[in-house]
Structure 1
Amino acid sequence: MKTIGIMGGTFDPIHVGHLIAAQAALNTGRLDEVWFIPTYDAPLKEQHSTASASHRLEMVTLAIEDNPQFKVNNIEQLRGGTSYSIDTVTALVEQYPDYAFSYIIGSDRINDLVKWHRIEQLAELVTFIGLERPSDQFQWNVIPDYLRVRISLADMPLIGISSTNIRQKLSRSLSVRYEVPDQVLQYIRRHKLYVAE
């Protein structure tokens, strides 16, 4: 059975922290592949992304093109609208019944899992790989048993890179070299993304 890690996000833009996180999950979770699934619209985000869905999909494709274990899947963008993990996972399980899926999340989101849409049903379909950073603290006692047994942790180095910070730097014409893959940075420049209006 093929084991697949699901890495969802807006990837606005994708950066090296995302790639390091995916590799950490791949190693610890003994996954065959990690599938990057850019959202069309994320339900828990307070602000909409500043790059279009097609630009974000292309940046992910460019960022992972040299790693055969990393794939991009546009299932959420094809569906459109708000992206709920349960809808995506249900569709993937139906499409790939012989695959086992693990949902990769930042460990800071483990305590929020109980708030996810139809989380009990989701926990029946996938396991969760929490990317544990040195500064993280969990409240395991508040996580229900049905979730706790479905969560494993992967060591994640503390990397102070965020898409928000990258967008802010780019809007001020500051360099983000080494924070995003070179091919992604070239794409951003070519399409004049995240520049101040």
Structure 2
Amino acid sequence: MCTGHTPTSTAISSRLTAERTDRPFRLGVMGGTFDPIHHGHLVAASEVASVFDLDEVVFVPTGEPWQKSDREVAPAEHRYLMTVIATAANPRFTVSRVDIDRPGPTYTIDTLRDLAAQRPEAELFFITGADAMEQILGWKNAEELWELAHFVGVTRPGHELPVLDRNDVSLMEVPAMAISSTDCRERVRTGHPVWYLVPDGVVQYIAKYKLYNDKSNAVNNGQI
């Protein structure tokens, strides 16, 4: 697929449907800190699954996100459980502990290697933000990444898409991508609601365990 332009979802879907006969199992890989997971993540995964005819999307919360070393990150177990809660209603979504259970910093190359070993029958599609796609060339073992998975970069409508001269990368616009985990954390910290930005069960989980709360501005179940 040419990456100099962005094909429509209908065009991509039609081509992939035509290729479906005897194709390998298609596994989407949605890696992220998920601190917290929100509807933007879920919509992006659902849209990519539809367009690329994915059989399953596995969400992979990071264990030790090396790119977030400049800020405090919620414990991995909390982020994992919030992801389980958020994805439970969609039978096509699953959650993996592969990064959480691996010691040391989380690198995408390790995630893809482990999933490829666990699911040798699957063709991997790694889903990430389009803004991150331009940084991937500097990631650990970058060239091997392209061999392990097809990369799908998603962004909000109207946002300028990067131009990457690679056939193993696709870019697409996805609604609801304007929601950010940073904004959700700040809203909780300052006592503002996050209802309808994150799944209801995650809202309740955040309240129960007082995640992201400023100690001087605790937020209860009714305020989140």
**Could you state the TM-score of these two structures normalised by the residue count of structure 1?**
0.92
SS of structure 1 residue aligned to 2:154: strand
Is 1:101–1:126's contact at 8 Å kept on the other side of the alignment?
A: yes
Number of positions where the alignment pairs a residue of Structure 1 with one of Structure 2: 192
Pair 1:167-2:185 in alignment: yes
SS of structure 2 residue aligned to 1:62: helix
Q: Which residue number corresponds to residue 37 of structure 1?
A: 60
Q: Which residue number corresponds to residue 117 of structure 1?
A: 140
Q: Which amino acid aligns with 2:151?
A: F
Range with bigger deviation, 28-37 or 44-53: 44-53
Q: Which amino acid aligns with 1:134?
A: P
Q: Which amino acid aligns with 1:191?
A: Y
Which protein shows a greater Rg?
A: 2
Listed as ranges, the matches of 1:1-197 within 5 Å are 1-140=24-163, 143=164, 145=165, 148-157=166-175, 159-197=177-215
Quote the sequence identity (%). Answer: 40
Q: Which amino acid aligns with 2:147?
A: E
More helix by share: 1
Cα distance in 2 for residues equivalent to 1:139 and 1:25: 18
SS of structure 2 residue aligned to 1:105: strand
Range with bigger deviation, 52-61 or 36-45: 36-45
Where does the alignment leave 5 or more consecutive residues of structure 2 unmatched?
A: 1-23, 216-224
Aligned in 2, Cα 1:16/1:136: closer, same or farther, shift over 3 Å? same
Q: Which amino acid aligns with 1:185?
A: V
Is 1:6–1:103's contact at 8 Å kept on the other side of the alignment?
A: yes
Where does the alignment leave 5 or more consecutive residues of structure 1 unmatched?
A: none
SS of structure 2 residue aligned to 1:26: helix
**Shift of residue 160, structure 1, vs aligned partner:** 2.4
Q: CA RMSD in A?
A: 1.5
**Shift of residue 95, structure 1, vs aligned partner:** 1.6
**Shift of residue 47, structure 1, vs aligned partner:** 2.8
